[in-house]
Chain A
Amino acid sequence: MGALRGRCGTANPIRTLSKEQGMDAQKRLIAGKFVDALPQARALGLRLEDIGAGMAAISMPYDLRLVGDPETGVIHGGAVSTLMDTTCGAAVLSHPTAADGTATLDLRIDYMRPATPGQRIFARAECYHVTRTVAFVRAIAHDGDESRIVATATGAFTIERKEGPT
């Protein structure tokens, strides 16, 4: 395989940062730029909420353009998928294993209940197991109340590394 199909290609901004800077504010700034660098993430207005070692939290504002059910005004599952995929990818890139890039191998989303129209959706992802080549990630999404989950995701992501010694 070897083809990148998810997000960050050759330069992992989160990695650069975790090696060269330790400061939280800096970290957030650079990780925030990572989200801004993805055109689709920008189109959805995604916002980085938190980032840690192998963990990321990103939110998505309610937007009428993203409605999937015109009767209820509930956001389309596809937009939630993008939020989940981006958050999982950010979690992989922030893992201390320091991947140069990552791509989604597979992603499963379970929709527990519809997100409340008008509410921002918050996703949090963590790498629960990482090998040299694969990261296993899970994520949850809620719309303000963490005890009422809107969706969960589990996925396998590639760990891309540049050729030669790093």
Chain B
Amino acid sequence: MNGKTSGGKQRPEPVQVVKERRDTVLRALVGRVPYISFLGIDFDRRGDELTAILHFDDKLIGNPMLPALHGGVTAAFLEVTAIVELSWSLIWEDMENGLIDPVATTAPRLPKTIDFTVDYLRTGLPRDAYARARVNRSGRRYASVHVEAWQDNRSRLFAQATGHFLMPVGDSKAHE
């Protein structure tokens, strides 16, 4: 991804313009959900690839004896990552075509979780965690998303999850 789109004779946009637009849309998407900042999650972007970062905080602890991340926090982190990734994939095309106004107050509606299954592989350690989601199927009404989370080593996942989501009605692609 070099962040440039070429449309026939048109000149590619300057890279800074493209980056700025993508980052602004991403910030708007993430910033509107209070629970994401409650947990202290933010997103790192490389082209269209998102990595969620859960910044460690004492209040995320579920087991003070170990200490370990609360299993519910791990589940929530994965679910947030899945929803943001799915929303991001839904708006990507419109965003690239300049059809999304990042400062508009009427941002696209978010997908709704139907079910979410978390597989706990290792103890969540008291440090930052990372997650990436993959949209396995994105239909008109339903989507299936898989998420993986790790801490120190990308190859040693501490949790993974799969969820099904109901697509937002009046999604960007369907109506203008």
Contacts and interface: CB of A to CB of B under 8 A. Distances in A.
A and B bind: yes
Interface of A: 3-11, 37-43, 64-71, 75-79, 81-86, 89, 101, 103-111, 114
A79 B123 contact: no
B113 interface: yes
B76 A76 contact: yes
Interface stretch (B14-22, B63-71, B95-103): B63-71
B72 A82 contact: yes
A5 B68 contact: yes
Interface residues of B, number: 43
Contacts, number: 162
Interface of B: 32-35, 38-39, 58-66, 68-77, 79-80, 83, 109-110, 112-120, 122-124, 158
A107 B71 contact: yes
A40 B117 CA distance: 20
A70 B108 CA distance: 11
B140 to A, nearest CB: 20
Given A39-B58, A40-B60, A70-B32, A84 B110 contact: no
B117 A107 contact: yes
A85 B75 contact: yes
Contacts of A85: 62, 70-72, 75
B156 to A, nearest CB: 12
A23 to B, nearest CB: 26
Nearest to A40: B70
Given A78-B75, A78-B77, A4 B68 contact: yes
27 contacts: A3-B123, A5-B71, A5-B122, A5-B124, A6-B62, A6-B63, A7-B70, A8-B65, A9-B64, A39-B70, A40-B70, A40-B72, A42-B59, A65-B34, A68-B33, A68-B34, A69-B110, A75-B35, A77-B79, A78-B79, A82-B71, A82-B73, A84-B72, A107-B75, A108-B115, A108-B117, A108-B118
